[in-house]
């Protein structure tokens, strides 16, 4: 009996009551943690009249796609396109700028290197919210609000990306690059052909983190977009919040949850496939940072 339980739990060594309890509570908590998502998907397929029930009903009484039809009355394909364009552009630019600057800060000798690095460290302490009013004024004066440029340009100089690449290149042994330099390879060739390919894991970790952060960005896209067709997906979908609809909750919960399913489930699926990179990204920012 104990041997069977140990096998089921995957325990090696002693089996204590505490461990059995921990196992059960842990799994129960994990289950509770994803219940809100289950509730979201379940509600999205319910008839609006059957959403508010006396007891919790996890399975819809009547299955319907009406809520999704309501969501598609909004220009969500356009919002999705905006989010794709903006997020891809920011991620790619941040990685290219970050890798180049990080490499120079780690490997090359030039006046101002320490000043540059101190500026980076200091800016990490300053909340980005401090920059929103001046950025907003700048784009307003340039008559460039409500545009891709306004959505893409401010976030591309991502300090964290430089920091990550600098850390990686510092940890890389110099021998390979020195050998290539002896063979007469230029600095740019060394960077592009030797150093950068070795940074593959860092590129992926940075890409995953930058993509999720910018895909989910809220404050800046909210401020800088005015027209329906320039909104990103999270901003457009926020229109389904009951609080912005003057609390006609009975009508809004079911379509709202359909909108949230469209917005959230793709992220969850991507996460399921790339989870390793998500975790590695967090660890590289946290521990080594």
Partner 1 sequence: MTTRQLPADTSLRTRLGRMTWKGERIEWSAYFYVLPFFVPFVIFTIAAIIFGGYVSFTEWRIIGDPLWVGFANYVRAFNDDFVPKVWGNTFQLAAIVVPGTTILALLFALYVNQRLRGFTASRLAFYAPRVVSVTVVGLVWVWMLDTRFGVVNQYLHRAGIPYIPWLTNPDWVLWAVGITTIWWDLGFHMVILLAALQDIPSELKDAASIDGASALQQFWHVVMPLLRPAISLVITLEIISAFRIFSQIFVMTQGGPAGASFSIIFYIYERGFMNTELGYSSALSLMLFLTILVVTLIQLRIIRERA
Which residue is associated with the tokens 């060394």?
Answer: 190
What DSSP assignment string belongs to 140-178? HHTT--SSHHHHHHHHHS-HHHHHHHHHHHHHS-SHHHH
Q: What whole-number distance in Å separates Cα of residue 258 and Cα of residue 48?
A: 11
Q: What whole-number distance in Å separates Cα of residue 92 and Cα of residue 106?
A: 21
Least distance between partner 1 and beta carbon 173 (Å): 19
Q: Is 222 in the site for partner 1 (CB under 8 A)?
A: yes
Q: Is 97 helix (H, G, I), strand (E, B) or coil?
A: helix
Q: Which residue, 200 or 247, is less far from partner 1 as judged by CB?
A: 247
Q: How many CB atoms lie within 10 A of CB 57?
A: 13
Measured in degrees and rounded to the nearest 5, phi and psi for residue 16 equal: -115, 160
Residues 86-115 that bind partner 1 (CB under 8 A): 96-98, 100-101, 103-105, 108-111, 113
Least distance between partner 1 and beta carbon 149 (Å): 12
Residues 247-266 that bind partner 1 (CB under 8 A): 249, 253, 256-257, 259-260, 263-264
Measured in degrees and rounded to the nearest 5, phi and psi for residue 169 equal: -65, -30
**Binder among 72, 238, 251, 277 for partner 1 (CB under 8 A):** 238
Residues 52-91 that bind partner 1 (CB under 8 A): 52-53, 55-56
Q: Which residue, 72 or 238, is less far from partner 1 as judged by CB?
A: 238
Interface with partner 1 by CB under 8 A: which range of 68-76, 171-179, 195-203, 218-226?
218-226
Question: What single-letter DSSP state applies at residue 193?
Answer: I
Cβ atoms of 272 and 67 within 8 Å: the answer is: no
Q: Is 197 in the site for partner 1 (CB under 8 A)?
A: no
Residue 161: CB partners within 8 Å, gap ≥ 6? 94, 95, 97, 98, 99, 102, 206, 210
Interface with partner 1 by CB under 8 A: which range of 18-26, 64-72, 177-185, 199-207?
18-26
Q: Is 138 in the site for partner 1 (CB under 8 A)?
A: yes
Q: Is 153 in the site for partner 1 (CB under 8 A)?
A: yes
Least distance between partner 1 and beta carbon 115 (Å): 10
Q: Is 171 in the site for partner 1 (CB under 8 A)?
A: no
**Binder among 160, 163, 168, 191 for partner 1 (CB under 8 A):** 191
């Amino acid at each position: 009996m104990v041997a069977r339980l140990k096998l089921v739990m995957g325990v090696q060594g002693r089996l204590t009551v505490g461990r059995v309890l921990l196992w059960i509570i842990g799994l129960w908590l994990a289950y509770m943690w994803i219940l809100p998502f289950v509730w979201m998907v379940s509600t999205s397929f319910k008839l609006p009249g059957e959403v508010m029930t006396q007891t919790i009903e996890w399975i819809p009484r009547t299955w319907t796609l009406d809520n999704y039809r309501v969501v598609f009355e909004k220009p969500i394909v356009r919002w999705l396109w905006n989010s794709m364009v903006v997020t891809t552009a920011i991620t790619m630019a941040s990685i290219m700028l970050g890798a180049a600057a990080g490499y120079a800060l780690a490997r090359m000798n030039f006046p101002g290197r320490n000043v540059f690095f101190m500026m980076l460290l200091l800016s990490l302490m300053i909340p980005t919210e401090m920059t929103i009013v001046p950025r907003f004024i700048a784009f307003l004066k340039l008559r460039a609000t409500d545009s891709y440029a306004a959505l893409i340009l401010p976030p591309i100089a991502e300090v964290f990306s430089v920091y990550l690449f600098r850390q990686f290149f510092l940890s890389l042994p110099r021998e390979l690059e020195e050998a290539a330099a002896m063979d007469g390879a230029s600095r740019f060739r060394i960077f592009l052909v030797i150093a950068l390919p070795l940074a593959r894991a860092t590129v992926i970790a940075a890409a995953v983190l930058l993509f999720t952060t910018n895909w989910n960005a809220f404050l800046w896209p909210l401020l800088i977009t005015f027209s329906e067709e320039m909104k990103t997906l999270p901003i457009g979908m926020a229109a389904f919040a009951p609080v912005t609809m003057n609390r006609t909750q009975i009508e809004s919960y079911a379509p709202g949850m359909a909108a949230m399913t469209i917005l959230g489930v793709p992220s969850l699926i991507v996460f399921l496939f790339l989870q390793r990179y998500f975790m590695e990204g967090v660890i590289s920012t946290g521990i080594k940072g």
